[in-house]
Structure 1
Amino acid sequence: MSDIASGSALQSHWIREFFLARQPILNRGQGLVAYELLFRRADAGTASVVDDLAATAAVIEHATELGMENVIGGSLGFVNIDKSVLMSDFVQFLPRDRVVLEILETVKVNGEVLDRVAELRKAGYTFALDDVINESEDVRLLLPHVDIIKVDIAGLAPGVLDQLSSRFRTAKKKLLAEKVESLDEYRRCLDLGFDYFQGYYFAKPAVLSGRKLSPSEVALVRLMSQLNADAENADIERTIKQDASMGITLLRMANSPALGTGHRITSLAQALLLLGRRQLQRWVQILLYAEPMKSTGMLSPLLIMATTRGKLLELLAGHIAPRNRNMADMAFTVGIMSLMDALFGQPMDKILEQMLVVDAVKEALLAREGVYGEMLKLAEFMEQAGESPLQIDTALTSLGLTREDLFDVQVDAYAWSEQVSRQA
């Protein structure tokens, strides 16, 4: 097995040469269960998963030092490993109860590989096969040793998908459909018995089109409109009291460390006074995403993505204009509102007709224009796992930011999103 020796200077160099991205993995109820963690080389012209052992080791060690909970919260983390990482001692830096090790399709299987997988399974690690598109000899050899099969459904003929899903279900393996980009694809894989789903179908407006808002959601939209119109506190309090669960949630959120009031809040009037309009507006925006999944007890992927975008844009604004609180607030609003078309199943322009926002926010949401639009594009590039790292660098340059600036705020945004989403 390989032996890794790398000093802190080398690690710091490697870490800042990579972008970390996380992609949600959902269960059959569309609740968040895991993230795939991807490391992309910052100066790569194409999307190549890290395959350099020293670089991978440095990034893994750093992620471990940050605390996996800051990156994945209470969910599992799927991590790509090639043969060099599999055979190294360094893979054991990853907590066995928090990760699934994805064996890349480039790994050529032999006795040494099978022995190593068996050894790590005995130590408590869980394995998945990545990007399966057929039942190759390598897949057949590894099948008894893995728990999850990730099927790349992009471009896969329907008949082949049927055969693969049937074969792996017969083998009692969990099935994960990756690159699911439409509601139709999700439903087809659901019908075929897939257990998990990865792709951005859930963030597209068609997913929830036609659904009716619940009474609580109607109350939240009304409250948001009142806040945008700068209504009186008495009117706002009256709206909150019309929905008992909203009032209870407000008090819980008002006392959350994530919102940082620093005081014990026991009444709605006190909450409104101490929170202020800025924090209250954030709370309402967050609850809009939390409401549809509340009855299931599962985390909504839209909630996670929206809160991550909001916090990321807010922190980036702090680097661009450190003393401009208003800019940071507007950046947060752009980030968190950017998925409301998917949330409500309506075009963004229709939503903005019902919600009063300033022109700069509207331009960002409708056309990705202006400084907020550039920040939003940067967040979207990051979500796509850095498939075109040059786009990330271009966006950073246009904002006057560096890779180090992005590195400094990214994990903070992940950690804040996980904390506030679990309290919503």
Structure 2
Amino acid sequence: MTRAREAIEDDLLNVVLACRPVYARNHDVAAFELLLQGEHPQGASLSDIEATGPAILGTYTQLFQRGRVHTVPSFLKVTDEVILAPQLPDLPKKHYILELPKGTLPTSERVKRLRHLAQRGYRLALADYAPDDGELDVLLDTVHIVKVDTRRLSDDVLHRTAVKLRGCGVEMLADNLDNGERFRHCLKLGFHYYQGDFLAKPSPIKGKKITGNKLLLLQLLSELHNPDASPTRLEEIALKDANLTYRILKVVNSAAVGLRREVHSLSHAIALLGLEEIKRWANLLLVGSEGNKPEALIRGMLVRGRMCEVLAEIAGRDNAINHFIVGLLSQLDALMDIAMPELMEQVPLSREVKSALLHRSGSLGEVLCEVELYEKGDFSGLKLLQDKRFYESAYRHSTAWARQVQQAMSYRDH
């Protein structure tokens, strides 16, 4: 049994759960949508809520953003069992937004119950709203947030929807935003929240090259991939930029690494951690030093990289560090605004890693595809591990790890 499997085996939940970010206008994470598959595929049951509550409040709703750890609320899709229950379990009102499942019929009994929940202080969200579906209008004076599937609506219909919802005084969430252009359109329409893959889609600038201290990081990575790499040569490269050396030593000394003694030089760090661990941190710095990109994008890259590594270890795959690098760099094109094929010409990675990033091929590509499916909540497509509970535990571990790493990489004092 692998070390990773042993480490998480005692921490398994009977559900699989992923978090889909909900963004504010400035790209900060304002909330998470919980993608939960437990007893009821259509939403969370009372037992699902009781089982996942500690994990959600203890890990999933916490993130590092703008120099400190924040706790944000979660959209939780609930079943009729929850809506019509005489009494809800101990559910902190400020941490949960109860989302009505798709196809909810506004019967008099449901409407009465929803109004009662709203009066008690629960926030309610209505999904898949369309302006021509007058049947749902009876709920607009009860719910607080209305989610609009922008992928299904034309610009004209989307504009009409926004005008109607603004008049009702509800907060609007633009869902399924696939690119930055669509996000900016919804921004002009006055939507309050935004959801989709638009942050992870690059806006390639033809001919753009990696510059600045990233060139030194690439030199460092190139040397780290050299079988004859030496601590002295690595230190020579890092010392060309005092700021780069400082950042490397800062993260190495951080709680994210957990050393018992302070490290004062790169050669000392290599002696204590080994070249593979230094390779990990060099890749992290390559990702984390892009100051003009949202922290949410970097967070997602960290979670994906670590989850690829943990799943590879659980599945007994070789070269877990390469699975980490593939997961981490799979959205480097969005971070750099350089198309992935052009980017691969500039980044010194092995042919196997590049092939996984470009074509999702080999063991590295297979594990990356699994993590991408998990992030989307496509749990039925997972094939790598028979016991799907390991995915959730790996994801939860990766979420906590990403928060810790972002703290370690921050320049701010904590």
Under a length normalisation based on structure 2, what TM-score does the superposition of the two structures give?
Answer: 0.81
Range with bigger deviation, 205-214 or 28-37: 205-214
The change in CA–CA distance for 1:354 and 1:98 in structure 2 (over 3 A counts) is: same
1:98 equivalenced with 2:95 (yes/no)? yes
Counterpart Cα distance in 2 of 1:90 and 1:270: 59
Q: Residue 313 of structure 2 aligns to which amino acid in structure 1?
A: G
1:201–1:207 Cα contact (<8 Å) kept: no
Q: Give the 5 Å matches for 1:230-379.
A: 232-237=230-235, 239-241=237-239, 243=241, 245-265=243-263, 270-292=268-290, 294=291, 299-301=295-297, 303-321=298-316, 327-379=319-371
2:46–2:81 Cα contact (<8 Å) kept: no
Range with bigger deviation, 369-378 or 67-76: 67-76
1:194 equivalenced with 2:183 (yes/no)? no
1:348–1:366 Cα contact (<8 Å) kept: yes
Shift of 1:271: 4.2
Counterpart Cα distance in 2 of 1:209 and 1:132: 39
Q: Give the 5 Å matches for 1:107-122.
A: 107-122=104-119
Range with bigger deviation, 359-368 or 330-339: 359-368
2:204–2:338 Cα contact (<8 Å) kept: no
SS at match of 1:22: strand
SS at match of 1:145: coil
The change in CA–CA distance for 1:67 and 1:197 in structure 2 (over 3 A counts) is: closer
Shift of 1:244: 5.4
The change in CA–CA distance for 1:231 and 1:104 in structure 2 (over 3 A counts) is: same
1:132 equivalenced with 2:124 (yes/no)? no
Q: Residue 364 of structure 2 aligns to which amino acid in structure 1?
A: Y
Counterpart Cα distance in 2 of 1:124 and 1:243: 54
Tell me which residue corresponds to 2:203.
Answer: 206
Counterpart Cα distance in 2 of 1:15 and 1:288: 34
Tell me which residue corresponds to 2:58.
Answer: 69
Tell me which residue corresponds to 1:84.
Answer: 81
How many percent identity over aligned positions?
28
2:13–2:52 Cα contact (<8 Å) kept: no
2:308–2:324 Cα contact (<8 Å) kept: yes
Under a length normalisation based on structure 1, what TM-score does the superposition of the two structures give?
Answer: 0.80
Counterpart Cα distance in 1 of 2:357 and 2:122: 42
The change in CA–CA distance for 1:360 and 1:217 in structure 2 (over 3 A counts) is: closer
Counterpart Cα distance in 1 of 2:249 and 2:106: 56
2:270–2:278 Cα contact (<8 Å) kept: yes
Aligned residues: 390
**Contiguous gaps of at least 5 residues in structure 1:** 1-13, 43-47
Q: Residue 304 of structure 1 aligns to which amino acid in structure 2?
A: R
Q: Give RMSD over aligned pairs.
A: 3.2
Counterpart Cα distance in 2 of 1:319 and 1:138: 49
Q: Which has the higher helix share?
A: 1
Shift of 1:209: 7.1
